[in-house]
């Protein structure tokens, strides 16, 4: 019997919710859709959290500014001076919300890119400002100081510098970071330097030293430390820059203590295990490159990626990214993210794959991707001559 009942009018089906499906089947799904990191030795977080649970630290409120050791570790990780301010929030996401609220007003403009991590654009729009999106779906697949300079106008208040970039995986050379930071300094603009993926890069370059008076560094332990579910990140920078933003911090009673102890344990030991995470991620992306190269109509705009993800361009296959996402998830249990989540203009061309996963996950992708593209290819349905 159809959904409309026997003989009744057919009811329209609710749209397919990939996340609902993937979470419901999480033990069978290969999660390559959210740039999460599944390669960090699990005992680092579990030992720290178990100890905190035994001590029943959840009974009290945490220190509102965040564990002092956490702030110190973040400062050291970002090579910031001891007197710099660190705000600890529920993920970098919340810090991004706070800073757009605090620093932008209706009518302001922010120089940003397309593709991009669009949640930040949504926050910018919530504050009444708008983004000036520069197309970067062409070499060098990132902003350049020259284009940023051209885009700055009388209403510009901020530059969004995500480095490395989600979803393309491109990274900024040090000289470009410096040049963009100098524009922010010279033109009196805020520079939001989102460094969520910096540990995966060959030559990560922080903008802060080039424009400490204008830079807000957004950090996160979701991707480098494999703690996305803990929801912990924040802001760092000079006290006079961070102070006005911290007024918008709603975490007057602190953020989750279990997340903080896990982050402390992970940041403390990161130098011992991150090189292995990085090496495995690099080997994984090479494996994916070979698979993509074997599929006509698919290609990688950016290779190697400086992050733990990249975009796979499938425009030449004639397949819609949403259809491929659904096919891979439902038939193969491999979860990638369709490009429309990341680009208003180019989202119909690509699907994003993250690869800080165990090699067995990548092996599943390697079998699934050619199969799914073959099954959906428009010519597959055409009758054979
Ligand atoms: C560029 C960028 N910034 C921030 C975030 C959010 O990170 P968090 O999990 O710390 O909120 C993401 C998550 O994917 C991201 O891609």
CB neighbour list of residue 74: distance below 8 Å, 6 or more residues apart: 86, 88, 219, 234, 236, 267
* Contact indicator for 63, 254 with CB cutoff of 8 Å: yes
Give domain 18-41+270-376's CATH number out of 3.40.50.300, 3.40.50.720, 3.40.640.10, 3.90.1150.10: 3.90.1150.10
| 1 has pLDDT over 70 | no
Quick one: which atom of ligand 1 is closest to the CA of 222?
A: 9
Three-class secondary structure of residue 278 per DSSP: helix
pLDDT at 11 over 70: no
Is the CB–ligand 1 distance for residue 196 below 6 Å?
yes
Chain segment 60-73, per-residue pLDDT in tens? 999 999 999 999 99
Q: Measured from the CB, is residue 166 less than 6 Å from ligand 1? A: yes
Q: How far is the CA of 321 from the centre of ligand 1 (A)?
A: 22
The second-level CATH assignment, the architecture, of 43-269 is 3-Layer(aba) Sandwich (3.40)
Residues spanned by CATH 3.40.640.10 within the chain? Answer: 43-269
In sequence order, which residues have a C-beta less than 8 Å from that of residue 12 and are 6 or more positions away? Answer: none
Q: What confidence score (pLDDT) does residue 268 get? A: 98
Strand partners, 353: 310
Which segments of the chain belong to CATH 3.90.1150.10?
18-41+270-376
For residue 381, give every residue at least 6 positions away whose Cβ sits within 8 Å of its Cβ, in sequence order, or none: none
Kindly give the distance from the C-alpha atom of residue 11 to the centroid of ligand 1, in angstroms, as a whole number.
37
Q: Which token pair is 355?
A: 């690869």
- Among all chains, which residue has been given the structure tokens 């080997």? 283
What pLDDT score does 380 carry? 55
> Of the given ranges (120-124, 345-349, 380-384), which has the lowest mean pLDDT?
380-384
Average pLDDT, the chain: 95
Task: Report CA-CA distances (Å) from 42 to 39, 53, 225, 273, 282.
Answer: 8, 16, 10, 11, 20
CA distance 132 to 103: 16
Contact 138, 114 (CB under 8 A): no
Taking the C-alpha atoms of residue 165 and residue 306, their distance in angstroms, rounded to an integer, is 8
Interval 320-361: pLDDT, tens: 999 999 999 999 999 999 999 999 999 999 999 999 999 999
Q: What is the pTM of this model?
A: 0.94
Q: Which of 117, 197, 199, 229 to mutate to test the pocket of ligand 1 (most atoms within 8 A of CB)?
A: 117
Which residue has its alpha carbon closest to ligand 1 atom 7?
A: 92
**Paired tokens of 68:** 């002092």
């Amino acid at each position: 019997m159809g959904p409309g009942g026997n003989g009744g009018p057919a009811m329209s089906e609710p749209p397919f919710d990939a996340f609902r499906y993937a979470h419901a089947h999480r033990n069978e799904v290969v999660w390559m859709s959210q740039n999460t990191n599944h390669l960090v030795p699990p005992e680092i977080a579990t030992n720290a959290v178990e100890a905190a649970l035994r001590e029943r630290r959840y009974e009290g409120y945490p220190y509102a500014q965040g564990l002092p050791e956490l702030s110190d570790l973040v400062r050291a990780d970002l090579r910031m001076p001891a007197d710099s301010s660190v705000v600890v929030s529920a993920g970098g996401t919340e810090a991004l919300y706070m800073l757009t609220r605090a620093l932008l007003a209706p009518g302001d403009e922010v120089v940003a890119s397309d593709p991009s991590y669009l949640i930040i654009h949504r926050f910018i729009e919530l504050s009444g400002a708008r983004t000036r999106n520069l197309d970067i779906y062409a070499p060098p697949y990132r902003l350049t100081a020259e284009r940023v300079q051209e885009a700055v106008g009388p209403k510009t208040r901020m530059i969004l510098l995500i480095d490395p970039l989600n979803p393309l995986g491109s990274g900024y050379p040090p000289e470009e970071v410096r040049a963009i930071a100098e524009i922010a300094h010279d033109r009196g603009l805020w520079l939001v330097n989102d460094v969520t993926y910096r540990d995966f890069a060959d030559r990560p370059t922080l903008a802060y030293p080039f424009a400490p008076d204008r830079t807000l560094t957004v950090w996160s332990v979701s991707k480098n430390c494999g703690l996305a579910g803990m929801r912990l990140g924040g802001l760092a920078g000079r006290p006079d820059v961070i102070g006005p933003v911290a007024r918008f911090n709603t975490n007057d009673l602190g953020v989750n203590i279990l997340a903080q102890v896990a982050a402390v344990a992970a940041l403390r030991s990161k130098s011992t295990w991150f090189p292995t995470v990085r090496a495995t991620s690099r080997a994984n992306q090479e494996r994916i490159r070979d698979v993509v190269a074997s599929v006509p109509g698919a290609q990688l705009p950016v290779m190697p990626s400086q992050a733990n993800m990249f975009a796979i361009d499938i425009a030449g296959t004639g397949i819609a990214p949403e259809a491929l996402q659904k096919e891979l998830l439902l038939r193969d249990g491999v979860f990638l993210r369709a490009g429309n989540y990341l680009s208003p203009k180019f989202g119909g061309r690509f699907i994003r794959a993250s690869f800080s996963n165990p090699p067995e996950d990548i092996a599943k992708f390697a079998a699934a991707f050619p199969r799914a593209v073959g099954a959906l290819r428009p010519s597959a349905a055409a009758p054979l001559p």
